[in-house]
Amino acid sequence: MTTTDAQVTRWWELSTLVHELDLQNNARLRERVARIGLTIAQASALRALDAPTTLRELATRMNCEPSNATVVIDKLEDQGLIERRPHPTDRRAKQIHLTPEGAEQRDKLLTLLREEPLSTGLTEEEQGALQRLLQRALSGTDTSRT
């Protein structure tokens, strides 16, 4: 099946819009988390640390490679926000725990995100629809045909 010029144009425009939305949301997020002294990666780690976890599990939640998560965790540890402890059942692994200061910083982050959501100019319903469409596009499945 050959793709038409109109389909290519539509896909290009859609890609450009998704990219622009991503840039705008990242800029808003970067500005907000900087107010409490965090980078986006650090905020991502703190947000995901709702319970003690291994580095590999945290990297999965952060949607990054463990080596990248290690750099972030090292910085959070240097700031006294997290600590590594032996894993209770796996002698080879460490668990990442929030310190009291880390829990406080996580609470500040969650409060900030609740008070100032990243607005896309869409209603809650429209945001839900966009999220479902993007998830479907990323999964490569078309549920409308099932």
Per-residue pLDDT of the chain (146 residues; tens, 9 = 90+): 688 999 999 999 999 999 998 999 899 999 999 999 999 999 999 999 999 999 999 999 999 999 999 999 999 999 999 999 999 999 898 999 999 999 999 999 999 988 876 666 888 898 889 889 989 988 875 555 44
* Phi, psi (deg, nearest 5) at residue 84: -95, 135
Domain that holds residue 79: 13-117
Domain annotation covers residue 138 = no
Residue 20 lies in a domain: yes
Rounded to whole angstroms, the Cα distance separating 72 from 78 reads 10
Q: State residue 114's pLDDT score.
A: 87
In a domain, 86, yes or no: yes
For the chain, how many structural domains are there in total?
A: 1
Q: For residues 32 and 40, what is the distance between their CA atoms, to the nearest angstrom?
A: 9
Distance from C-alpha of 29 to C-alpha of 25, rounded to nearest angstrom: 6
What CATH number is attached to the domain comprising 81?
A: 1.10.10.10
Determine the pLDDT at residue 9. Answer: 94
The reply to whether 95 falls in a domain is yes
Domain assignment present for 131:
no
